[in-house]
Amino acid sequence: MTPHERRASGWLASIVALRLFGLFSIFPVFAIYGRDLPGGQESYLIALAISIYGFTQGLFQLPFGAASDRFGRKRIIVIGLLILMLGSVVAAMSTTIVGVIVGRALQGAGAVSAAASAFIADSTRAEVRTKAMAMVGAAVGVTFAVALISAPPLTAWIGLSGLFWLTAALAMCGVIIVVWVVPSAPLQPQPAETLRHGDVLFDPQLLRLNLGVFVLFICQTAIFIVLPTQLVHLGHLPSPQHWMVYAPVLLVSFAAMIPPLLAAERRGKIREVFLGAVALLFVAMLAAPFAASAALTGLVIFLLLFFIALNLLEALQPSLVSRLAPPHLKGFAMGVYNTTQAFGLFLGGVLGGTLSKRFGDSAVFYVCAALTAFWFVAAWSMKPPASKHKS
């Protein structure tokens, strides 16, 4: 990658990361601190506050992506970040769970991931675009790790409203980065007759990846409806100390994912590593109710398996989308991918809250295991893109 490509890809990946911090940071704390708000005693409202972000983000990903084609990437990304900042301020100033839900909905409406991905495609050559898109996947994984580790002690220090104010400040930082730091890239419009969006929407390979990210984020959101309270009640670990579990687990999981990730790219084992990660996710979900019976030790083992699978899949899937999509529709393909991801976030929160309230925490893990099994079957016939290296 040239210096220009590294600079553009790195800073745009950081924009995606800044947005997602506002989502991920409440995962490990809201199920606990949200109950102190009027109306927060209802599990479904807690779940809605966490997941409504994904619903509005899903609604606006494609419109924002299309608008960026017409009006310019930077302008649309700045507008999205300002909407994120507005939603964060609303949530920070709210004194009821309903107000937080409204703020979270506004946060999600500033959906600029597709526009940022299209900006990366504009700024990079085809032969290095996979690396650039993989940077976005890595940024998502690192953001999730940082949010899980930092959010519990941070919320204990500055409170839930402080967490939303921090998100607003990060959004403003994002605006500054986009306007003054990210290098401009020329728009590359395509003739209208070449734009066949059905090539993206109904391509079997891309459908498998969109299904995959949908299931992955259902599981990711659903388990964090129940996991923080399990760490409190089963692990006897108060929320400000949850980082002591997340930090070592995440560090070990990042180290454990490196050998299979290298094998996937360098030895042409993308399909094998991808299916192995989905299978590991299934095993983790199926074993979680039994692991919980061992209290903190069991929960740590579950988290380790879960994060190894999650980190691998979040690194592989965006890269695969960028390599499999038609060259002139990569931005639209990332928009569809981000939309299904966002709806997975929304449905995961609703599903996790509903299952937990009606059938208990174990039902959340069993349903996630069933969804993951379906994903594995659907992904079995995937055809990975041609490897640059011979195995």
> Over the stretch 13-66, which tens digit does the pLDDT of each residue have?
888 888 888 777 887 888 788 888 888 777 778 888 888 887 888 888 878 877
63 backbone dihedrals φ, ψ, rounded to 5°: -60, -40
DSSP 356-386: HHHH-HHHHHHHHHHHHHHHHHHHTT--PPP
Q: What is the mean pLDDT of residues 329-340?
A: 78
Which residues, 6 or more positions from 386, have their beta carbon under 8 angstroms from its beta carbon?
none
Report the range of poorest mean pLDDT among 38-47, 89-98, 381-390: 381-390
pLDDT at 119: 87
Question: Is 193 a residue whose pLDDT tops 50?
Answer: no
pLDDT at 171: 93
Please tell me the distance from the alpha carbon of residue 17 to that of residue 27, in angstroms, as a whole number. Answer: 15
pLDDT at 276: 94
CATH of residue 305's domain is 1.20.1250.20
Report whether 222 contacts 368 (CB < 8 A): yes
**Angle between the N-to-C axes of helices 3-24 and 97-109, in degrees from 0 to 180, rounded to the nearest 10:** 160
Q: What percent of the chain has pLDDT over 90?
A: 27
Mean pLDDT of the chain: 83
Which residues, 6 or more positions from 355, have their beta carbon under 8 angstroms from its beta carbon?
222, 363, 364, 367
Q: What is the mean pLDDT of residues 191-214?
A: 76
> Where in the sequence is the domain holding 353, given as residue range(s)?
3-181+198-379
- Give the pair of three-digit tokens for residue 40: 């927060």
In a domain, 387, yes or no: no
In a domain, 221, yes or no: yes
In a domain, 187, yes or no: no
Please tell me the distance from the alpha carbon of residue 116 to that of residue 165, in angstroms, as a whole number. Answer: 23
First CA to last CA distance, the chain: 24
Which residues, 6 or more positions from 92, have their beta carbon under 8 angstroms from its beta carbon?
103, 161, 162, 164, 165, 168
Please tell me the distance from the alpha carbon of residue 64 to that of residue 60, in angstroms, as a whole number. Answer: 6
Q: What is the mean pLDDT of residues 126-151?
A: 74
In a domain, 293, yes or no: yes
Question: Is 279 a residue whose pLDDT tops 90?
Answer: yes
Q: What is the mean pLDDT of residues 349-377?
A: 90
Number of domains in the chain: 1
Report pTM: 0.77
In a domain, 189, yes or no: no
Report whether 153 contacts 354 (CB < 8 A): no
- At 150, the pLDDT band (50, 70, 90 cuts) reads confident
In a domain, 388, yes or no: no
Which residues, 6 or more positions from 229, have their beta carbon under 8 angstroms from its beta carbon?
31, 32
In a domain, 389, yes or no: no
Q: Kindly list the distances between the CA atom of residue 151 and the CA atoms of 101, 160, 204, 378, in Å, as whole numbers in the listed order.
A: 19, 10, 39, 35
In a domain, 186, yes or no: no
Q: Which residue has the higher pLDDT, 273 or 262?
A: 273
